[in-house]
Amino acid sequence: MNDSDKWERMLRQALASPGEPEEKLNQSILNRVEERNSMNHVYRKRLSTGVMVAILTLVMSVTAIAATQFFSSDQVAVQLGEKILAKAFESSDAIEVNKSVDSGDYKFTLHGIVSGAGLKELNESNSTNEIHPERTYAVVSIARQDGRPMPKTSDPEYGEESFFISPLIKGLKPWQVNIASMRGGYSEVVLNGIQYRLIECDYVEMFADRGVYLAVSSGSPFYNSEAFAYNESTGEVTAKSDYDGVSLLMDLPLDKAKADPAKAEAYLKELLKEPESGTKTDPAETELANRIEELKKRLADGKVIPESVKEVTYDKEGRINYEYDGWSVKLSPEMLFAEGQTGFSDSVQFSEADGHYLGLQFHKDEKGVITGMVIDLK
Amino acid sequence: MDIDELTNLINIHGKAVYGFCYRLAGNKEDADDLYQETFLKAIEVIHKMDANQNPKSFLIAIAIRLRKNNRRKFAWRQRIAPTAELNEAVDHASVSEIEATPEDAVLSHELRGLIQAAAERLDDKLKIPLYMHYTAEMSIEEIAQALRIPPGTVKSRLFKARSNMKKLLEVEST
C-alpha cells in the first residue's frame, strides 16, 4: 500500500459519519412539517367557510343558472372576497379566455387573466409586493369528467388530489421559474361542484414575447419533472403523455405588446441569483486560479493521448457527453463555446495524481463537430 | 412533498446529511439544529431542485448555505474546540504512529482525533469538499453538482485539503 492509499484509508476512517440522527430528531422534523401542512389546511378552510355565507346567498339567487354553467373570473373573485380584482377582471385590460382541456379524469378551464398593481383587497404586509407591485392573476376551474361534483372545501376529501397550476415561460427551466419561485399562491372555492382556483404570481406579461404556458399537473402542488419535459436547446416545455395523472399545457394568450425584455431580464437576474458565496476571494481560491492559469500555459507543450480523442455524443436534452478513462463530462455546449466560436474551448478541466497533471479540453470545428481530448502535461 | 416522501428522503439520506452537519458544526447540539433546518428548508425550496440533481447533493448544498448564513451562531464554539482537541490528540499520538499503522488496523482514538482536528482547521473552501467526500460519501461529480464547480476543481481542492492536512499534522506532531 503506497502512501497515498494509506492516507486515503485513514481519512475515510477518521472522517466517516460520526453517527446517525436520533429517531426523536427525525420525528421532530416530520412533526413540524405535519404541523405546517395542517396550518395551511386550516387557513384554506377558514378562508372558504368565511365566504360560505356569501356563496349560499349567491347560489340561492342564481338557481336559474344551469348546474354546468361556469362562473366567470370576476364572479369567482367576488366569491373569494376580492372586489377590486373582480372589477379588474371585468375591465378591458383583462383577457377572457374560457378555453378547456381534458386530462386524466378532469376538465380544466382557463377562464381569464389580468395583471396590475394593487388589485388585492388585503395588500398583505408582504414585502415582496413592494418589490414587485405588479402581479398577474388567473382563474382556472377543475371539474370531473364523469360529472360528479368536486369535494367541497369543508369535505375531508378536499385537497386529497393536489394540483400544480402555474405559468411556465418558454426558454426558462420550469423547475426554476414557476408559480412557487415567482412568489405565487392561490385561493380556492368550490361552486356547484366545480373547483375554482385563483392563482397569482409576479407579473408574467413582461415575458409575453417569449411565450408563456399555463401548466397543470396532478399529484403534487409543486413542479413535477415526471409530468413535463423541458428541451434545453429549444426551450420548449411539453407535457409527458406517459405520466400517470394530469399533465397539460395551454398557451397563455398574452398581449405581445406588453412584453418588456429589459424588465424581464432584470427580474430573472434577481430571481435566479445565487446566494452570496462569501465576501472576499480567499487566498486559497486565488492560488488555485493562478495554478490553473499556469497549467493552461503548459497545455501547448503537452501531449494529446490519442485514444482519448473522441467526438462527443449528445443526449436528448442537447447536452454533450464525453467519457474516457474515468473522465465523465455531461454539460451544455454553451458552457464551452460562445455562439459562432470555433477552435479550442477556454475552459479546461485538470486532474492530478502524484504531481502528474492531465487536462481535458474540447475542440469545435467549422462544421460544429465537438471533439474532446485528454492532454498529458509532461 | 408529502410526509411519506419526506420520510423516504430522511431514511435514504439522513445519515449522510447528519454526518456532514456534525462535521461542519463540530458539536451535537449545532449539528442537530443544522440537520433539522436543512430538511425544513428543503421542503420549502424543493421546487428549485434541478430535475437532474440528485437529492443528496441538493440537501448537502442547503446545509452548506444554511451554515454560511448562521455562521456567527456556530463560530464561538469552533474557536475553542478544535485547538484543544488537536493539542490533546498530539499529546497522545506521535508521528511514528501515522507511519507505522498496519494496513488493516483500525485507527487509534488519538490518531482519529488528530486527523479530525486537522480537517477542522482547514479553510472552508477545502474543508467542505473534504467532508462531502469522506463523510457524506459523495462522488466528485456529486460534489461538483452541489457546489456548482467543475469536477476538476473539486479534485484540486481535495488534493490541496489532503496535502494541507499532512503538513499540519507533521508540524503539530514534531
- Pair A314, A264 in one domain: no
A269-325 pLDDT, tens per residue? 888 876 554 444 556 666 767 777 788 888 888 889 998 999 998 887 778 888 887
ipTM value greater than 0.95: no
A313 in a domain, yes or no?
yes
B170 — contact with chain A (CB < 8 Å)? no
Name every chain A residue with its beta carbon within 8 A of the beta carbon of B51.
175, 225, 230
* Domain-terminating residue out of A257, A272, A287: A272
pLDDT of amino acid A38: 58
- Pair A228, A352 in one domain: no
Q: Do A11 and B115 touch (CB under 8 A)?
A: yes
- Nearest Cα neighbor of A113 from A129, A132, A98 is A98
Structure-block grid coordinates of residue A136 = 398577474
- Pair A187, A97 in one domain: yes
A43 in a domain, yes or no?
yes
pLDDT of amino acid B107: 64
Closest residue in B to A286 (Cα) is B125
- Pair A204, A319 in one domain: no
* Rounded (10°) angle between helices A23-61 and B28-45: 30
A36 in a domain, yes or no?
yes
CA-CA-CA-CA dihedral for A268, A214, A33, B31, to nearest 10: -30
pLDDT at B116 over 80: yes
A336 in a domain, yes or no?
yes
Q: What single-letter DSSP state applies at residue A355?
A: T
A254 in a domain, yes or no?
yes
Q: Do B112 and A6 touch (CB under 8 A)?
A: no
Closest residue in A to B50 (Cα) is A175
Select the residue from B28, B44, B48 to test the A interface by mutation, using most A Cβ atoms within 10 A. B48
Q: Do A10 and B111 touch (CB under 8 A)?
A: yes
CA distance A128 to A119: 15
CA distance A290 to A293: 5
- Pair A58, A188 in one domain: yes
* Domain-terminating residue out of A237, A257, A272: A272
Q: What is the pLDDT along chain A (378 residues), one digit of tens a residue?
A: 567 777 888 888 889 888 889 888 998 888 888 777 654 433 343 334 334 444 443 443 333 333 347 889 998 988 888 888 899 999 888 999 999 999 989 999 999 999 988 787 654 434 344 455 688 999 999 999 998 999 887 777 787 788 999 999 999 999 889 998 888 888 888 888 899 999 989 899 999 999 999 999 998 888 888 899 999 899 999 999 888 899 999 999 998 888 999 999 999 988 887 655 444 455 666 676 777 778 888 888 888 999 899 999 888 777 888 888 777 777 778 778 877 888 888 878 777 766 778 888 889 988 889 999 988 887
Q: What are phi and psi of A292, to 5 degrees?
A: -65, -40
**Contact (Cβ atoms closer than 8 angstroms) between residue A104 and residue A218:** yes
Q: Is A230 left (phi over 0), alpha (psi -120 to 50) or beta?
A: beta
Sign of the CA dihedral with B24 first, then B25, B27, and B31 last: negative
**Contact (Cβ atoms closer than 8 angstroms) between residue B155 and residue B75:** no
pLDDT of amino acid A117: 80
B141-151 pLDDT, tens per residue? 889 988 888 99
- Pair A236, A372 in one domain: no
Structural domain including A319 reads: 298-377
pLDDT of amino acid A170: 94
pLDDT of amino acid A213: 94
Closest residue in A to B38 (Cα) is A29
Select the residue from A3, A26, A291 to test the B interface by mutation, using most B Cβ atoms within 10 A. A26
Q: How many CA atoms lie within 13 A of A186 on its CB side?
A: 24
- Pair A306, A267 in one domain: no
CA distance A97 to A112: 5
* Domain-terminating residue out of A215, A238, A272: A272
**Chain A nearest CA to B173, separation (Å):** 16
B69-101 pLDDT, tens per residue? 765 444 444 433 443 444 444 444 433 334 444
Q: Do B115 and A7 touch (CB under 8 A)?
A: no
Written as one letter, the residue type at B93 is: A
B12-70 pLDDT, tens per residue? 899 999 999 999 888 888 889 899 989 988 888 777 776 666 888 889 999 998 887 76
Q: Total structural domains in chain A?
A: 2
- Pair A216, A68 in one domain: yes
Identify the bridge partners of residue A4 per DSSP, sorted by sequence position.
none
A279 in a domain, yes or no?
no
Structure-block grid coordinates of residue B88 = 490533546
CATH of region B3-173, choose from 3.40.50.10950, 1.20.1640.10, 3.40.50.300, 1.10.10.10? 1.10.10.10
A8 in a domain, yes or no?
no
Domain boundaries, chain B: 3-173
- Pair A185, A258 in one domain: yes
CA distance A96 to A257: 17
- Pair A249, A370 in one domain: no
